[in-house]
């Protein structure tokens, strides 16, 4: 299949942030995912002899198992760990050393870690593609590809949609990644969250106006997609802050009476209590189908990054053309640049006095 205009090869590339892929490249992954979806029942050998390593330092069900399923469905093998206590990180090994070891055992690394920018560190040191499966409260780009695929398949198109992002917009990495992608579409976004969980400035996508509200009821009748997230309890610096917002929004069947009949209720899962079980039988409940789409989407991603598809031989684009400063060290206490002391600061120069950390995207004034 010939590559469309503006699509460079994805072979050998890492996916750390959504912005690592152009809008055309994202669409290319979704198109290949469509093909993969149609061939799920077939025995495939595209990735025979290739190995995926999963390095998971935080809990996961869907992301790890859908990556493993995707790799095996393409005929590849899987190694990895799902519990940081069983890896050498427990003995104090750095992310850089871990990445250099795993790259010698596998062809692609999927990593989840609580530190923002941790996957970028791995990608900077490994000479194999690294896929960020969640780096703290920062990003989770392969979930975004799955979310976009779900909307596209369910509605035929992403353009023209009014999407409400509801829940923990402060710490929810799936929302941060999704917003980075949504700015490429002609859509309307409403951020629905209690004030203390609203979207941090650094995740406001350039050029995409955001409406903000703290209750779902008023905006629900206008929405085409309601994307609900769990309150990320583990990321709160202080337990009392979590207690103050816990249970503050619950979507239930009665509320859906006031929504469009073709609304998509999405959720990256797991849910805690933010979507009542009485929503599950409603045809607007899309979250289980959304989780299932993780397999064809990750099949497409793995096949493309590992060069298993024809005509993937266009040279990769040059990385960020904007100037980068190697000082100061990032002040964000949750950033890999601060926590992994050997990493070099990488500050995108925005203007004379503003920098953006390339590990965690925090902006600072110097």
Interhelix angle 23-38/294-305, rounded to 10 degrees, is: 120
CA distance 48 to 20: 27
Q: Which of 134, 141, 205, 345 binds ligand NCD (CB under 6 A)?
A: 134
- Alpha carbons 145 and 131: distance in angstroms, whole number: 12
Q: Which is nearer to ligand NCD, 115 or 269 (CB)?
A: 269
Please state the closest distance from residue 290 (CB atom) to ligand NCD, in A: 9
Q: Does 230 bind ligand NCD (CB under 6 A)?
A: yes
Beta bridge partner(s), residue 324: 348
Is 63 marked active-site?
A: yes
- Residue 143 binds ligand NCD, judged by CB under 6 A: yes
Give whichever of 35 and 198 is closer to ligand NCD, judged by the CB atom: 198
User: Does residue 205 touch ligand NCD according to CB under 6 A?
Assistant: no
Question: By beta-carbon distance, which residue lies closest to ligand NCD?
Answer: 268
Q: How many residues interact with ligand NCD (rule CB under 6 A)?
A: 11
For residue 129, state whether it binds ligand NCD (rule: CB under 6 A).
Answer: no
Q: Does 268 bind ligand NCD (CB under 6 A)?
A: yes
Q: Which letter, b or e, does each residue of 76-115 get, where b requires 16 or more Cβ atoms within 10 Å of its Cβ?
A: bbbebbbebeebebeeeebbbebbeebbeebbbbbbbbbb
**Sites for ligand NCD among residues 49-108 (CB under 6 A):** 62-63
**Binding flag, residue 113, ligand NCD (CB under 6 A):** no
d(CA 269, CA 283): 17
CA distances from 209 to 162, 218, 324, 357 (A): 12, 19, 28, 23
**140 near ligand NCD, judged by CB under 6 A:** yes
End-to-end CA distance of the chain: give it in Å, rounded: 48
120 sits near ligand NCD (criterion: CB under 6 A) = no
- HSE, side-chain direction, 13 A CA sphere, residue 325: 17
Question: Could you list the residues that contact ligand NCD (CB under 6 A)?
Answer: 62-63, 134, 140, 143, 173-174, 229-230, 268-269
Tell me the catalytic residues.
Answer: 62-63, 91, 112, 140
């Amino acid at each position: 299949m010939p590559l469309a205009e503006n699509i460079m090869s994805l072979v050998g590339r890492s996916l750390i942030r959504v912005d690592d892929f152009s809008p055309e490249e994202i669409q290319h992954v979704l198109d290949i995912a469509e093909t993969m979806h149609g061939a799920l029942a077939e025995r495939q050998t595209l990735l025979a002899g290739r190995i995926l390593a999963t390095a998971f330092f935080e809990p996961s069900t869907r992301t790890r198992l859908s990556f493993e399923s995707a790799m095996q469905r393409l005929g590849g093998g899987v190694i990895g760990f799902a519990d940081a206590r069983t890896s050498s990180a427990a003995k104090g090994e750095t992310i850089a050393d871990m990445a250099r070891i795993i790259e010698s055992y596998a062809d692609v690394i999927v990593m989840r870690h609580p530190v923002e920018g941790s996957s970028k560190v791995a990608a900077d040191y490994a000479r194999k593609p690294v896929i960020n499966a969640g780096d703290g409260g920062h990003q989770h780009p392969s979930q975004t590809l799955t979310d976009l695929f779900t909307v596209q398949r369910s509605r035929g198109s992403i353009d023209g949609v009014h999407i409400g992002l509801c829940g923990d917009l402060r710490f929810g990495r799936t929302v941060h990644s999704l917003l980075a992608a949504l700015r490429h579409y002609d859509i309307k976004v409403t951020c629905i969250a209690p004030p203390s969980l609203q979207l941090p400035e650094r995740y406001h996508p350039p050029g995409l106006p955001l409406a903000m509200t703290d209750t779902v009821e008023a905006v629900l009748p206008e929405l085409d997609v309601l994307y609900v997230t769990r309150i990320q309890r583990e990321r709160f610096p202080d337990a009392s802050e979590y207690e103050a917002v816990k249970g503050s929004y619950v979507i239930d069947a009665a509320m859906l009476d006031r929504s469009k009949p073709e609304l998509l209720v999405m959720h990256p899962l797991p849910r805690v209590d933010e979507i009542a079980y009485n929503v599950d039988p409603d045809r607007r409940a899309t979250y289980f189908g959304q989780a299932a789409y993780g397999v064809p989407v990750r099949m497409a991603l793995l096949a493309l990054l590992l060069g298993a598809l024809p005509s993937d031989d266009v040279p990769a684009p040059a990385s960020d053309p904007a100037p980068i400063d190697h000082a100061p060290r990032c002040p964000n206490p949750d950033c890999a640049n601060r926590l992994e002391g050997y990493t070099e600061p990488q500050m995108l120069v925005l203007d004379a006095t503003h920098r953006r950390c390339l590990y965690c995207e925090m902006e600072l004034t110097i």
